[in-house]
Amino acid sequence: MARKRSGIGNGDEKSTPTHTRAVRAADSVERVYARIKDFAIDYRFRPSERINEVELAAELAVSRTPVRAALNRLERDGFVASVPNKGFYARELTPEAVRDLYELRAAIERGAFVLACERATDAEIEATAEAWTRHSSLEDEGSWAKIAVADESFHMALTQLSKNAQMIAALEGLCARIRFFRRIDLESAPRRERTYREHDAIIDALRRRDAAGGASLLEKHITLSSAHAIEVAARGLARIFTGTAA
C-alpha cells in the first residue's frame, strides 16, 4: 500500500506549527544580526568596502534572507550604508566621523548628567560610584581592554541615572558604534590615567549635584580635539588594514 502523504488530518506525522516556524525564523534573524553587528563594531568589514551578502551568508551558514534583514537593520543603526542597485557598504572611518560620534555622545551625556543631578537618589549615586571604584586601580585591571569595558559601563550607568529612556537607548546604540575607537583611545597609559582622574571629578560633582560643573567636566572628558580624532582614526585604520582590528 502506498504511504499516505503527511498533512492536516494525517495522524502518522505532525507538521511544524506555523507559529513555531515564525519564532525560529525570528530567532535566526536575531542571531545573524548580533553576529554581523559584532563584525561591524570591530571593522571586520573594511571602511567603505562592499559587503558580499553571498559570502556572509555562507560564513554564517544561513540563507541570504536573514542576512539581508540584518543588514537593513544595521543600516538604520548606523553601522552600514546602502547604495541603490549596488548593495550594502561598511561604514566609513575618517577623523570627521570619529569626532562627530564623540560630539554626539558628549551632547547626550551632558544632558543626562543634568537630569541625573535632579532625579537620582543618593543611594543610586553611591551605587554608581561604587561600581566604578571597583575599577579604580590601574594595577589591578591588567588590561586596557578591560578598562574600556569598565569605562563604557560607567558612562552608561551615569546616563541611566537620568531616568530618561530615550537618552539611555540613544547612548546604548552610540556606545556600540564607538566601541572600536574607545578601545584604541584607552590603549594609551596617559589617557587611561587621565580617564580615572576625570571620572573621580565627575563623581564628586554628581554627589554635590553640581549639574553645570559636572556637565562641563563630562563634555571636556568626552569630546575629542581634531588632532586627537585624526590620531584615533589613523590608529584604527592601521589596525584594520594589518588585520589586528579585533
Q: Is 50 strand, coil or helix?
A: strand
Smallest CA-to-CA distance from 94 within 48, 45, 39 is with 48
Model confidence over 84-100: pLDDT tens digits?
Answer: 999 999 999 999 999 99
CA torsion sign, 164 to 166 to 167 to 172?
positive
Q: What is the pLDDT of residue 244?
A: 59
Model confidence over 7-51: pLDDT tens digits?
Answer: 334 444 455 555 455 446 566 789 999 999 999 999 999 999 999
Q: 87 has which bridge partners?
A: 83
What value does the mean pLDDT of the chain take? 87
Task: Note whether 205 and 214 are within 8 A (CB).
Answer: yes
The full set of domains in the chain, from first to last, is 18-90 (1.10.10.10), 95-241 (1.20.120.530)
Q: CB-based contacts of 211: which residues, under 8 Å, 6+ apart?
A: 113, 114, 117, 118
User: All 3 cell numbers of residue 196?
Assistant: 580615572
pLDDT at 4 over 50: no
CA torsion sign, 101 to 186 to 190 to 198?
positive
HSE-up of residue 129 (Cα within 13 Å, Cβ side): 17
Q: How confident is the model at residue 224 (pLDDT cuts 50, 70, 90)?
A: confident
Q: What is the pLDDT of residue 120?
A: 98
Q: What's the rounded mean pLDDT across residues 78-84? A: 94
How many other β-carbons are positioned within 10 Å of the β-carbon of residue 141? 16
Q: 174 has which bridge partners?
A: none
How many other β-carbons are positioned within 10 Å of the β-carbon of residue 120? 21
Q: What is the pLDDT of residue 15?
A: 55
- Find the helix or strand (DSSP H, E) in which 89 lies: strand 87-90
By the 10 Å C-beta count (0-12 exposed, 13-18 middle, 19+ buried), 140 is classed as exposed
